[in-house]
Amino acid sequence: MPGSVQSIERAAAVLRLLAAAPNGLGVADVGNALGLAKTTVHGILRTLHQVGFVEQDRSGAHYHLSDAFGRLGDSYLDPNELRSRAINWADSLASRSGEVVRVGRLVEGKVVVVHHVFRPDDSDQDLDVGTTLPAHACALGKAVLAFDTSGAAKPKKLEAFTTRTIVDAARLADELAAVRAKGWAADFEEHTVELAGIAAPIRGLGGLVVGAVGLTGRIERICDSRLRHRTDLVTMVRATAEAIGRDLRDER
């Protein structure tokens, strides 16, 4: 059997030390307690700080566990941060594709829209920020639902919105497996008749999927003559998702 991973063992030990020290510990304190060099301890603490598990006091001399560490079951990413990192990339995608672009995150089985870019034309449109979409019936939802491992976020009931909505749990499972395999999700009149969508997951630190970005438009614009989702739009959406994720990862 493979042995344990030393770096993870050390990180766990650091977290245990901090959990027992309500006033926090300095690099030297941790190093002395674990018999590690200051450079090693500093690297561990820096990484734990980047992923949001530890925080520094105002002086920067002491570390302590963050509130986020006690809420590991919650989303670690503030929706405002996701939106702020996505704005420029989503705006660019809407401009290049000519379609509506949304950024969303999964909350209790539904997708909450955190950013919405209007289709760049003169048509009347309503702002969708803050609204929810059924995860099983749209590309944006499937792109995040496919990577949910908690089970708690899966929709309890697969409601039908059109005749094309997936309402069978086994069929949805197959659809989500296909999303994981190809790296993007699609819908075809599953939420709204005559509309199709394309979306891709946004990955934050460690590859964790924290949301998705996608576009929606009329079938004749999103799909080709064979009613297949256009490869150029798929490429645009996936590149946008990667760019947003890269910004999220680089910031921390």
Q: Which one of 18-22, 37-41, 126-130 scores highest in mean pLDDT? A: 37-41
Concatenating the DSSP letter of every residue in 126-186 gives ---TT-EEEGGGSHHHHHHHTT--SSTTS-SS---SSTTS---HHHHHHHHHHHHHHS-EE
Question: Domain boundaries in the chain?
Answer: 6-71, 79-251
* Neighbour tally for 211: CB within 10 Å: 31
Return the H-helix or E-strand segment holding 244: helix 231-251
Q: In what order do the strands lie in the sheet with 110-117?
A: 132-134, 110-117, 100-107, 209-218, 195-203, 185-188
* pLDDT score for 78: 75
Task: Tell me the fold of 79-251.
Answer: Beta-Lactamase (3.30.450)
Provide the pLDDT confidence category of residue 116 given band limits of 50, 70 and 90. very high
Residue 126 has a pLDDT of 83
18-27: burial string, b at 16+ Cβ within 10 Å, e else: beebeebbbb
pLDDT of residue 1: 46
* H or E element in which residue 27 lies: helix 27-34
Helix-, strand-, coil-residue percentages of the chain, each rounded to 5 = 45, 20, 35
**CB-based burial, 54-81: b 16+ in 10 Å, e otherwise:** bbeeeeeebbbbbebbeeeeebbbebeb
Q: Does the predicted TM-score (pTM) go above 0.85?
A: no
Q: Residue 151's pLDDT is what? A: 66
Position 153 pLDDT exceeds 80:
no
pLDDT exceeding 70 applies to what percent of the chain?
A: 92
Residue-level pLDDT at 148: 84
- Domain 6-71's class? mainly alpha
What pLDDT band is residue 250 in, cutting at 50, 70 and 90? confident
pLDDT tier, 154 (very low <50, low <70, confident <90, very high otherwise): low
CA 18 to CA 13: how far, in whole Å?
9
- Tokens encoding 184: 């993007």
Six-digit token string for 105: 């995150």
Distances (CA, A) of 234 to 114, 171, 206, 225, 242: 21, 23, 24, 16, 12
The string of pLDDT tens digits covering residues 156-192 is 789 999 999 999 999 999 999 999 999 999 999 999 9
Question: What is the band of 205 on the pLDDT scale with cuts at 50, 70, 90?
Answer: confident
Assigned token pair, 149: 């491992």
Q: What is the mean pLDDT of residues 216-221?
A: 96
Q: Which residue has the higher pLDDT, 155 or 101?
A: 101
Confidence class of residue 70 from pLDDT cuts 50, 70 and 90? low
Token couple for 251? 């910031």
Residue 139 and residue 141: Cα distance in Å, rounded?
Answer: 5
The label of the residue with tokens 């766990």 reads 12
Query: How does the average pLDDT of the chain come out, rounded?
Result: 88
> Which of 2-6, 8-12, 17-21, 208-212 is predicted with the least confidence, judged by mean pLDDT?
2-6
The pLDDT value given to residue 24: 87
